[in-house]
Amino acid sequence: MQIYNPPLKEIRFLLEAFGYDEQVATLDGFKDFDLDTVMTLMEQSGRFCAEQMLPLNRVGDQVGLDYDPDNYTVTMPKGFKELYQMSREQGGMGLTAPADYGGFGAPQTAGMILSEMATATNKSYSMCAGLTHGLIDALASHGTEEQKQTFLPKLASGEWSGTMCLTEPQCGTDLGLLTTKAEPEGDHYLLTGTKIWITFGEHDMADNIVHLVLARLPDAPEGIKGISLFIVPKFDLDGTRNPIYCTGLEHKMGIKASPTCVMSLEGAKGWLVGEPNKGMRGMFTMMNAARLLVGLEGVAMGEVAYQTALEYAKDRRQGRALDASKREEGVSADNIMVHPDVRRMFMNIKSTHEAMRGLAYWTGIRLDMAHNHPDEKVRQRADDLVALLTPVIKSFLTEVGFDNISEALQICGGAGYTTDWSLEQHMRDARIALIYEGTNGIQALDLVGRKLPRGGGRLLMRFSKEITRFIEANKDDEAMAEFIKPLKEGLELVSNLTMSVLMQRGMQDPEEAAAVASPYLKLFGYVSLGFIWNLMVKHAQEQGDAFGQTKVKTARYFFSNVYPEIHGLAKLVEAGKANVMALDVDEF
């Protein structure tokens, strides 16, 4: 059973709580995208996702892809090509693309909302547009004017789609081992090499596929400082076939309608993007945007799983309520929603899920401010916050989101384990988000090793000031006291551990920091959710309606039943590397 209702009321509540109209809709270029307009667009888009994309989700999983090794082509499952054309006509593909190059120029926050709904209804299919979105960002930031004029309008319209080609058989995380070569040839380059794990590297939905490829020039320095970035289209601009071929597909646990390709470049024509040997700048523009959207996948898949479990639970009857006053007369069994353990599982999902969505959109608003605010200081402050929170969002939201899907499946019991209720597909589809766009362990190392030390700790101080500013502004509000107290304690815990373990011990021995990076990131994630819950509770109390009262009750559960995990995580961080690294390799 496929179930999805776009959570538009939840999303509007968040954007109101975070001051979207004041923070984003007042910026140059976004005056036409006030909250009411954005929500009208999202209502239309959500309907399209639920009515057109969702029905093909199970089809894609069961039918899969058809690969032709003789012609190196991939045929999408039945209905996907038609869905792609409907998506183009619906207009969502170019929602956030620059208006000067054929897009609508909407805020990134709006694009994130659309991405959440698309991922929830058909993750495999939505990945194509997500990659194209990232390529548009990279070219808009680093391409020449000629490249922008040539590629961006067709990418924004969906006539062409995009990929990013980083990984090779011998290098994944360590891109310094990359060997794909780019030889100069007149006004272009000829690229030779093999790329793997290329999502939508080949398909039949778009007329052309534009690849962003990392490669080395003949005189390039060794390591990561010798990598350049190239545009390599499937078809050359004159329509001739460029020799970049899909030579095989990976057979995967999930996202089975998303072609994960092995790509062979056999002297493929490409054009340099940006400066020679500076390719990682352009690629990370694409990857950082992708990491935020991958984090949002944890929210999207958690949402559809929660809705599915709720639909099941409201109809399922088993046992009698322990509280006799809650027993329904005239029936032999009560609805399972009366049982405390079922409620506990639902509350675990609800209390984390709603705040995770909030953290993603709060960061999305900062992303729009970082790119578009007229004040350079405001732009820098917002950019620092986005940089700090990107690895947290990518890692924490996908991990807890996956746990929430597992909890939803557990609620449904044996039914959840079958194909009848789609939860097993959601689990399989969601698992990859903890791995791609930089594994969650790599995100933790990025947070601890790069983001925290940057600018002498400037990024963490920015975020701490956001929290302390809120605490100071509301310290005399008695209704907020029960929420502010644990938030303040959590912030102090993060600050103390950052100084004592990560900075002092970690500077003397990098393994000390690396060994505890993952529990530290998780602790940071929970404290971040605590901040978001405070923002939501404040807005809910100002609204004073039933919806807001539910928010306050959910926040209480979070702080009493979920948030205390920070103390156990703190002990893991304090423990350092001693027992993590205690065994020799041959003892495993």
Catalytic residue positions, numbered: 437
Q: Please identify which residue in the block is written with the tokens 């003397």.
A: 508
98: left (phi over 0), alpha (psi -120 to 50) or beta: beta
**Distance (Å, rounded) from C-alpha 494 to C-alpha 459?**
13
Burial 36-50 (b: 16+ CB within 10 A, else e): eebbebbeebbebbb
At 488 the three-state DSSP class reads helix
Segment holding 68, helix H or strand E? strand 66-68
- Residue 288 has a CB neighbour count (10 Å cut-off) of 20
Residue pair 307/422 in contact by the 8 Å Cβ criterion: no
**Distance (Å, rounded) from C-alpha 286 to C-alpha 279?**
11
DSSP β-ladder status, 208-215 and 188-199: unpaired
φ, ψ dihedrals at 512, nearest 5°: -60, -40
In the DSSP assignment, the letter for residue 216 is: B
Q: Please identify which residue in the block is written with the tokens 């393994």.
A: 511
Amino acid present at 58:
R
Concatenated DSSP letters for 491-507?
HHHHHHHIIIIIIIIHH
- Encoding tokens for residue 44? 């239309």
